[in-house]
Structure 1
């Protein structure tokens, strides 16, 4: 009887294994059929759960064998063969699967299934029961109902004999392989588990179902590995939390990008945002220098793009690379991206006064299906350069598409400063001198190439401030002599601040920012400034500043005339504007001149009468690509300074020496090349007499300059008190004021947002009872003036211009005003204008008269609009000008110049 019982038990186990294998195969087939019907868009989580629910076949067999042997040992009653056959009868009569046998496999969670199937560690009886029900569900044989309801006993410790016998059943020899999770790498090698270690009581206690419900051993190992890596790799500061205004700023730990990675455009936008909210200049320099320190240390290649974007420049000024994007194009690009109409955007801009803020607000409420990659500083600069270089009939559409691609990728405040850069006005209060100062401070605290993060440690504040001032002065001086960041920045990164002077010097072909003069209103101020010093007075010509560059040939023995160039006061290349001037260079240069840089004034000149013509005549010349045959306005160039001669800079030499070299090496040709008329004065009467001669000679006034000493140097890019300008309209008695009527206003932008920033002025024509437009004015106002004037004029706002307003449609203001306020203004002079209607028909049949450089003086409450300056008075003042008198007897046809 004992032997038959063992035989029956063995047969039952073999039959059960066979049935289980068949059931497992059938379940896998059905599941595969179901998976094949699932669409390709199934979530990754469902696929992962499927593979965790169905482990490898070898693992299923071993678990089932282990469970059956345990239950066989627990059973105390012997069963005969017939009873056993009844117990293994099919639980279903129609051969179909139970409804609950298949669904739990597809709906089980990732974490629970992974823990149960991949770890052979035994758990509680409840867990084993659930596991057995999932495995043994079949359409064929199954265990008896009694065995299904009886929970199995947990495995005993290896110390018991029964446990030793069970452990001996091929478990150690055929240890199951744990497959890698689908979330890990596919090519990861299979790892064999140690069943003895995993089934130890300590392991079971640590990996209880409650404590590790959602953690598998493999996941815990990955978490530990990640925790170890966090101690090695620095966690970056979130980009929206980047704060270069932070006290004790660290260029690496407080940065929001990693070393070698492109600088995020959002980091620059955050910097500009903080600068815009700061009014203190020293604090602005400190904020920008912290940002530049991080760039020097982490990504030095982005230092040049960062400087260009802070200055809103694309290239050196003499390359004339301009965006050429009108506000209408920007409105169209923003409207197409956000679904807003041009009228809606124009209304928002009128309220806000800033298109950048309107674009940022519109971008914040926009939703995109796919998030574009974040912008970087170098990518934005390259995109802006691409926009500037687009030409042709389809260039407008190409520019708008390029702008849209940048705009949709903007985050947070990036849209504000991107649109402002496209407008050409950042309006953050960041001048070029502040950028140079910040660059010097950054190079002093974190010297390139960034090996020393903080050079201020161990140095007293006074000593370090002196070092910062020295570095800033060096960078400013070098940039003044070589105003090209594409040469200065690489030299700074490679050789440091102290090596800049030897590598970036003044050279022909790179225009300098000219030295400017301070105005003075009284003759006595000249002698106060140049007390006990010799000075000279030169005529101040009413023309266009021209900087003439003549480089040397490769051999250095002769000038390279084909490469000669003329640059404007703003470093713009005007070479193609003056082909006639460059064509007569040989008559100017002496025989021993190989290279030079001359500071000149190009003036419209009547060769027949030898008279200087007004600036308005010069402005009629074609700006670019002028042909010699089409030139009608002749130009005479008046040379007044020499900055470079035969490979040697002269800006540090006194004016007396520079003027002597100028007269020695250059020739004069009347009507073509002339030296500026000058006189060395020592008395007040001499200056007064010379000023009157200059005004009679159709000049604006005088330039007063020191001859010797440090004050006689040429201060590049500085408005220095070493030069004083004495203009006729600055002096009392030489210029008269006018009383004009305000008929329109222009809404302020930027800092003037919320108030009127400009106004349209008019004179009164009593014969026709008209108010004729005279000029636009926007200077001479303080912030308090604009606020009070806006409040006063609000009550005079009208819906449309009055029928008796005479104006040009191109100068229509944003707001029309009733003719009620009279202002007193002062101007440099009066000129003919095709855009204004003042005194039209009195001096010219088709052109009116306009004020040049008008400035607000005060409000005339004692006058009515009809008592304002009349059109006849405007005409008389125009004709009374000396420069108009000098040209009145000429045969010049003014119609040819307009």
Structure 2
């Protein structure tokens, strides 16, 4: 067995091939794709018939912007033709045209929201989005960027770090003060209705008005929300309430005042109420079932159709629209910033985007993720006859480091933090969620110039930050890393040293490397950096072609305080870096996978039960939930009370008590039985990693009930750690729960693909 500490000779062949095995040996391997129908596609002018079954919504995973259709031009074109068929049958625009050049009315966006809210059919959702975006392009293209951002409930790109998510108490106070209703009445309505957006709509329709304010515009709402989100310092709460009141007072003016019938909140889920959607934006949850992937498809569709009508007066073909979709998805996967892409698209056209938009230092891209496996045999079956390598899987925090030297013939695309500015150049470090980590790891950015070789002018590095024992010169447990402050860290006050373990290079000296093979990227990585003990190392990896030796390598990685192995394809198109995708070309093998259900789960804390005995001073157990990406709801999956030390329980009691709410949110799917209710409910803010012995059906819990008929629960769940790098809507999804349950040997052998889970690296 060969073993490398991050080194590999250029002429050395890293071959890990399994001999004499077939796909039939592997129970957990995904089934082969069904052959596509050989029938010829309909001519361009032939109407595409869309069946009710094809319209029905399918669960979407926001973590993966790309889909299988991206790799199949025929499938993408067919899908776009069906979308065009739905668009043609949808009639005129639901909101009348405003004057060309005027700001887009917020009421027009809310009308689109309402149309989407009233259907679960995937193609209809995309059609509503595309239709409205075409209207915006035709009348006020300058507002397109703001419209798209609000459609996905964002104020800016993720790396800017601006989020809403205003507390319920502040919103209720603003509703009461803006409508002249008491807080007690607002709370009573909330308890009765269960949706604070509908409470706002009801309150607005009961409000008398003396002066009619100007109608809200999309840009005006976005600017107001941005101001609210950025309000800090002394008196911030009152100023936020004031900003919310101003928005709500200008909303739904047509329904307020004497003689108005008001808003019927029992009809069409409250309809296109501006108040309703403003409140949902403030809460951070539109709850429309509108995934970013759908918006991206609708945007490409709208732009291609608009460009075709302007140039030729005719609709674009399904093939042309599919080409535009592939182009936009590819660009967005490398440069996830509508603020950059949309202006360039409006200026140069969608088909020329690649000439103006590419991966660039300063704009973090969504990382490539790995599929979990249940056995080493499964790994070898997957990579049979292919060259691949086994890297240590470090137990730290996924990070992406961007750098541009002062001598480079390019600029850093965003404002670099002070910690990332040096005599040599500028740099920044981002999390897997594109969060700016410069205030958490200023020590990394300060030490970075020492690792960079003279010829390295710019780069984007994929890596893991790991706690490091300086005296023993070894990796420390993940829990040690979590003891570091998350913000305002001073390099000279750091008590937990961090070592960066680099495993991929995505950009080097002005060139994106994502389409190159992993072997080439690894060689470039070796040539661009100097290793420094305890500060910067290349990921260790081993080369072998024997199952037993991979087992030994796995055990050695665990002894080195790592989680296991990452097995990666080395050559060919399959070894390229796939941003934002969980790929079968990267497989992760943890020691825990060899028994039990496989990967751990990342679950959201919804509630808690008061402790007994030694735990009377704290919460003794907690109610956890997965996330339904299609419905945008949290579905309960287990109660957990093991794996906690007294110190952890005390810490959790303090943090969670600051986020209590009076009643469950309307998007909590939980048992209605009195005995099943937790003593305390929380805002959905905290994500915990949990291990379980197996999964079982249970009428008490709601996880994956839509897919399986009954809810799934965890048997013997055990707390592992807090996932501070994950947002609640990035928790394990209900679809993943269902797949994990179905692939258990006790449930069904040789049935279904491996779970498409979206946990960590």
Give the TM-score, by structure 2 length.
0.66
- Report Cα offsets for 1:212-245 as digits up to 9, x if no partner: xxxxxxxxxxxxxxxxxxxxxxxxxxxxxxxx98
Structure having the higher Rg: 1
Contact preservation (8 Å) 2:467, 2:498: yes
More helix by share: 1
Q: Secondary structure at the match of 1:584?
A: helix
Q: Does 1:794 align with 2:657?
A: no
Contact preservation (8 Å) 2:130, 2:301: yes
Residue 355 of structure 2 is matched in structure 1 by 502
Q: Secondary structure at the match of 1:521?
A: coil
Residue 604 of structure 1 is matched in structure 2 by 467
Residue 512 of structure 1 is matched in structure 2 by 365
Q: Does 1:728 align with 2:607?
A: no
Which one has more relative contact order, counting CA pairs under 8 Å at least 6 apart? 2
Q: Secondary structure at the match of 1:501?
A: helix
For residues 333 and 126 of structure 2, what CA distance do their matches in structure 1 show?
Answer: 19
Contact preservation (8 Å) 1:260, 1:299: yes
Residue 283 of structure 2 is matched in structure 1 by 423
- Report Cα offsets for 1:483-530 as digits up to 9, x if no partner: 221111011111111111010111111111111112222323222322
Q: How is 1:771-786 mapped onto 2 (pairs within 5 angstroms)?
A: none
Contact preservation (8 Å) 2:626, 2:634: yes
Q: Does 1:362 align with 2:362?
A: no
Q: Secondary structure at the match of 2:370?
A: strand
Report the CA distance shift for 1:749/1:555 in structure 2 as closer, same or farther (over 3 A). closer
Q: Does 1:258 align with 2:99?
A: yes
Report the CA distance shift for 1:551/1:263 in structure 2 as closer, same or farther (over 3 A). same
Residue 586 of structure 1 is matched in structure 2 by 449
Q: Does 1:676 align with 2:539?
A: yes
Residue 338 of structure 1 is matched in structure 2 by 179
Report the CA distance shift for 1:606/1:744 in structure 2 as closer, same or farther (over 3 A). closer
- Report Cα offsets for 1:20-59 as digits up to 9, x if no partner: xxxxxxxxxxxxxxxxxxxxxxxxxxxxxxxxxxxxxxxx
For residues 661 and 630 of structure 1, what CA distance do their matches in structure 2 show?
Answer: 34
My pick for the range that moved more, 562-571 or 296-305, is 562-571
Residue 636 of structure 1 is matched in structure 2 by 499
Report the CA distance shift for 1:797/1:563 in structure 2 as closer, same or farther (over 3 A). closer
Contact preservation (8 Å) 1:826, 1:857: no
For residues 409 and 711 of structure 1, what CA distance do their matches in structure 2 show?
Answer: 53
Contact preservation (8 Å) 2:131, 2:302: yes
Gaps in structure 1 of 5+ consecutive residues? 1-243, 457-463, 777-785, 802-806, 812-819, 834-851, 859-898
Q: Secondary structure at the match of 1:600?
A: strand
Q: Does 1:310 align with 2:151?
A: yes
Contact preservation (8 Å) 1:508, 1:550: yes
Q: Secondary structure at the match of 2:405?
A: coil
Contact preservation (8 Å) 1:828, 1:854: no
Q: How is 1:521-536 mapped onto 2 (pairs within 5 angstroms)?
A: 521-536=374-389
Q: Does 1:489 align with 2:345?
A: no
Report the CA distance shift for 1:670/1:756 in structure 2 as closer, same or farther (over 3 A). closer
Report the CA distance shift for 1:494/1:552 in structure 2 as closer, same or farther (over 3 A). same
- Report Cα offsets for 1:84-116 as digits up to 9, x if no partner: xxxxxxxxxxxxxxxxxxxxxxxxxxxxxxxxx
Residue 236 of structure 2 is matched in structure 1 by 395
- Report Cα offsets for 1:783-819 as digits up to 9, x if no partner: xxx97x725x435559x69xxxxx9xx99xxxxxxxx
Q: Secondary structure at the match of 1:447?
A: helix
- Report Cα offsets for 1:617-671 as digits up to 9, x if no partner: 2122222221122211110000000111111111110000110111122111121
Q: Secondary structure at the match of 1:537?
A: strand
Report the CA distance shift for 1:563/1:757 in structure 2 as closer, same or farther (over 3 A). same
For residues 291 and 375 of structure 1, what CA distance do their matches in structure 2 show?
Answer: 17
For residues 502 and 625 of structure 1, what CA distance do their matches in structure 2 show?
Answer: 39
Report the CA distance shift for 1:763/1:481 in structure 2 as closer, same or farther (over 3 A). closer
Q: Of 676, 697, 720, which aligns to 1:830?
A: 720
For residues 827 and 745 of structure 1, what CA distance do their matches in structure 2 show?
Answer: 11
Q: Does 1:711 align with 2:564?
A: no
Report the CA distance shift for 1:384/1:660 in structure 2 as closer, same or farther (over 3 A). same
Give the TM-score, by structure 1 length.
0.56
For residues 722 and 348 of structure 2, what CA distance do their matches in structure 1 show?
Answer: 55
Q: Of 301, 309, 312, which aligns to 1:441?
A: 301
Once the two structures are TM-superposed, the CA of residue 710 in structure 1 deviates from its matched residue by: 0.9
